[in-house]
Structure 1
Amino acid sequence: MSVVEFKKTGNPSLAEMAAHVENILPAIESAAEESEQLNRLSDATYMLLRDAGLFSMMMPKEVGGAELSHVDAMRLGERVAWAHGSAGWCVIVNNAVGGVMSLFVSEKGAADIFAEGPDVMVAGNGVPRGYARPVDGGYMIRGNWAYGSGIHHAAWIHSGCFVTEADGKTMVKQANGQPEIVITHHPRETIELKGNWDVLGLRATGSFDYTLKDADELFVPKHLCYGFNDGDAKRGGPQGSLGLVGYTAWGHTTWALGVGRRMLDELAKLAKVRVDAFGKMNESATFKYEFARAEARFRSARAFAYQAWASMAETFDAGRNASVEQIADVKLAMRHVHDVISDVGTFAHRAARGASLHNGTMQRFYRDIHSGTQHILMADEIVQECGRVYLGAVKADAKWGVFGVDG
């Protein structure tokens, strides 16, 4: 339990949080186009999400967060993604990146980062794209990092680095031969953005590349760092033991369920009014058949995801950590949901014909879907690792990492 007194933003019930989310969805949706043009969330959207406690809903109570279960947080997150894909993305990223940081950072680090309360935006990339040279009291870091989703509104930056020897060049290896990686955290004002977020979809996430500002190296004190593969959470209870492996799977699944649902809802709305040379869209036997099949695939994928996470919640409630098979389930569910929404999105786009060509809600969600599916966590290699687990081809003490199973 934390020995530091952290500020809290109140203790709303889950029902109150859900009602608040529903109340702000129209405003988030109405600001979507403005956010797209800004290449980041509008300030108003950011404030709505922050004040609703959505950026800290997965953070532990010890730092003032809501510490919702993954299942409960999934229900809220997918509603935000339903309203605006980029807004949903920023919510799930902060709960994955910032959430994991809140679990693993030292007590002194948590006191620094959460000095003003839990609703802190943390952005950056924990995948190592930089280097950390050990010095007294911490590390001197350097590098260029990519995909800093939500970085415009961030207060803290989360940057993965390969640890080097004192020469700054020779990489330190772990006992298993893999490079040692450290996650560092530093204030937003220490970095500058590269103006390179010119992309197909998820435009309003503002996922710019970034580098250090006016410096070749930056000192980061050790209390603001932790190992990429640290396995023991300092706070957050049993569910905190999932770390980055589980929280990223939760986040991407949550987002995909929201945008996939919205694509089908938009198509159903269009079908009620669209008439072309072949008649009314919703009277076409072929369309009705294919739409029903799309619904079945989506709902089945959603059920799989919720079943996997509900099983995980039961394990945590019993005071146990997740098994390697349970983590394989949530990893596979994440990828499967993305495969399904990719197919559903393509079906909706083609069925809508010219209606989806124009700038608007359906086109934006189509672009967002086919951007989210490009994430490295959707790699076939991770699915192969799930297969290895199910086939019993891993060791008894095997553990999941972000990209695969060690053992």
Structure 2
Amino acid sequence: MSSSVAMLKEARAANFETMQAKVESILPAIEAASEESEALNRLSDTTFELLKANGLYSMLMPKELGGAELPHVDAMRLAERVAWAHGSAGWCVVVNNAVGGVLSVLLPDDGAREVFADGPDTMVAGNGVPRGFARKVEGGYLIKGHWAYGSGIHHAKWIHSGCFLTDEDGNMLKLANGAPRIVVTHHPRDTIVLKGNWDVLGLRATGSFDYTLKDGAELFVPDRCCYDFAVAEAQRGGKQSTLGLVGYTAWGHTSWALGVGRRMLDELAKLASKRVDAFGKMNEGGVFKFEFARAEAKYRSARAFIYQSWGGLADTFAHGGEASVEQIADIKLALRHIHDVISEVSTFAHRAARGASLHDGVMQRFYRDIHSGTQHILMADEIVQECGRVYLGAYGPNAKWEVFGVNG
């Protein structure tokens, strides 16, 4: 290891340890406010301000904009702890670091300065998956549409909206490979209205409402506040910023899954140490002990795969390299695998807990949150198929990962 790389790692370790101490100090308050947040259908103001004040919304933001610019693998350890305390709080943290993190490295200087004029912990919410339409005009785009899943949108200052690019007649424009052209736009919170439709099984406190533009009219968004989904290149943030939306979103959902999965097993162990029923003490039952050990093995194995994959990426970036197609396949597969595992072990925990998980409470909430998070489009079987294609070597020399698969 070169001396420069060693010094960089030492400095980052010190920064991480400081942030880790901050996170652990606020977890009790986040837990204490969780029921209020659930009732509000969004994070409580107390929780939001705690996360903001302690830099949890800007862990991945570049230092040029005032962010911590932590390696993804370090930020993951912090985000999973927030998700352990409250699933919805963890979700909002990873969404802002993914969505805001990507725009913070891709927007040109004048656009980044505008969005982050109040500092790096500016909340950005919305949906970059194209559900709207944009047509090019002088100096920017005119957009319209209806978007879903605006996690954290109540506290957002800026909105992140993906759009299919069209010509003046509304015909969708295509890339050379036939895929639609997509532009991701960013506009102030006061340009939208919420639909008030977040009536869901779990992740209720994320407030992931649908939204549309005010009066249904077209909105002008300047070029400086947009990036091209397919060709945007990192403007700042070092080598790790080259992961783009593909890697940042995988990081976010993986971090969240680690936290909520761990919490479900921890709650079951706590219950088992106290519960006595007609069959005896719960944690003394042979079948239960066997199945709990298997659940731990599944979770810990999935977690090890995750940190092996992300740790390898951190080393690659520290030495000035960029992620390979195979490395992205690893983090994509690890993402899906941990969701499969937490779905399985949380179902085991729910069944083993019997009535304790049936009623309102921590176990029921985490069970609902887990089985809501598994529904995200990034868990699609088709993405795992693309990982298989990579591992089989069935891709071209210039292949590149996009959000939903490999191009080439």
Q: Given the two structures, how large is their TM-score scaled by the length of structure 1?
A: 0.96
Secondary structure in 2 aligned to 1:260? helix
Secondary structure in 2 aligned to 1:115? coil
- Residue 220 of structure 1 is matched in structure 2 by 221
Aligned residue runs from structure 1 range 113-262, under 5 A:
113-167=115-169, 169-262=170-263
CA contact (8 A) 1:172 1:180 kept: yes
- Residue 5 of structure 1 is matched in structure 2 by none
In structure 1, distance between residues paired with 2:301 and 2:246: 24
Aligned length: 396
In structure 1, distance between residues paired with 2:81 and 2:228: 33
CA contact (8 A) 1:74 1:254 kept: yes
- Residue 329 of structure 2 is matched in structure 1 by 328
1:397 paired to 2:394: no
- Residue 87 of structure 1 is matched in structure 2 by 89
Q: CA deviation at 1:62?
A: 1.1
- Residue 3 of structure 1 is matched in structure 2 by none
CA contact (8 A) 1:181 1:227 kept: yes
In structure 2, distance between residues paired with 1:57 and 1:260: 22
User: Which one-letter code corresponds to 2:160 in the other structure?
Assistant: H
Secondary structure in 1 aligned to 2:215? coil
In structure 2, distance between residues paired with 1:229 and 1:316: 22
User: Which one-letter code corresponds to 1:185 in the other structure?
Assistant: H
Aligned residue runs from structure 1 range 361-400, under 5 A:
361-400=362-401
Q: CA deviation at 1:66?
A: 0.3
- Residue 348 of structure 1 is matched in structure 2 by 349
In structure 2, distance between residues paired with 1:186 and 1:251: 22
Listed one character per residue, the Cα deviations across residues 222-257 of structure 1 (whole Å, up to 9, x for unaligned) are 110010123420111110000000001111000000
Q: 2:77 aligns with which of 75, 79, 97?
A: 75
Listed one character per residue, the Cα deviations across residues 165-223 of structure 1 (whole Å, up to 9, x for unaligned) are 122x1111112111110000000000000011000000000000000012411110111
User: Which one-letter code corresponds to 1:89 in the other structure?
Assistant: W
What RMSD over aligned residues (CA atoms) do the two structures have, in Å? 1.0
- Residue 17 of structure 2 is matched in structure 1 by 15
* More helix by percentage: 2
CA contact (8 A) 1:332 1:383 kept: yes
In structure 2, distance between residues paired with 1:208 and 1:183: 19
CA contact (8 A) 1:271 1:281 kept: yes
In structure 1, distance between residues paired with 2:332 and 2:180: 24
- Residue 8 of structure 1 is matched in structure 2 by none
Listed one character per residue, the Cα deviations across residues 41-73 of structure 1 (whole Å, up to 9, x for unaligned) are 000000000001000010111111000001100
- Residue 104 of structure 1 is matched in structure 2 by 106
Secondary structure in 2 aligned to 1:214? helix
User: Which one-letter code corresponds to 1:101 in the other structure?
Assistant: L
Structure 1: where are the runs of 5+ without partners? 1-10
User: Which one-letter code corresponds to 2:303 in the other structure?
Assistant: R
- Runs (4 or more) in structure 1 with deviation over 2 Å come to none
Q: CA deviation at 1:275?
A: 1.0
- Residue 9 of structure 2 is matched in structure 1 by none
Secondary structure in 2 aligned to 1:269? helix
Q: CA deviation at 1:136?
A: 1.1
Secondary structure in 2 aligned to 1:13? helix
| Percent of paired sites with the same residue | 74
In structure 2, distance between residues paired with 1:214 and 1:172: 26
User: Which one-letter code corresponds to 1:143 in the other structure?
Assistant: G
- Residue 5 of structure 2 is matched in structure 1 by none
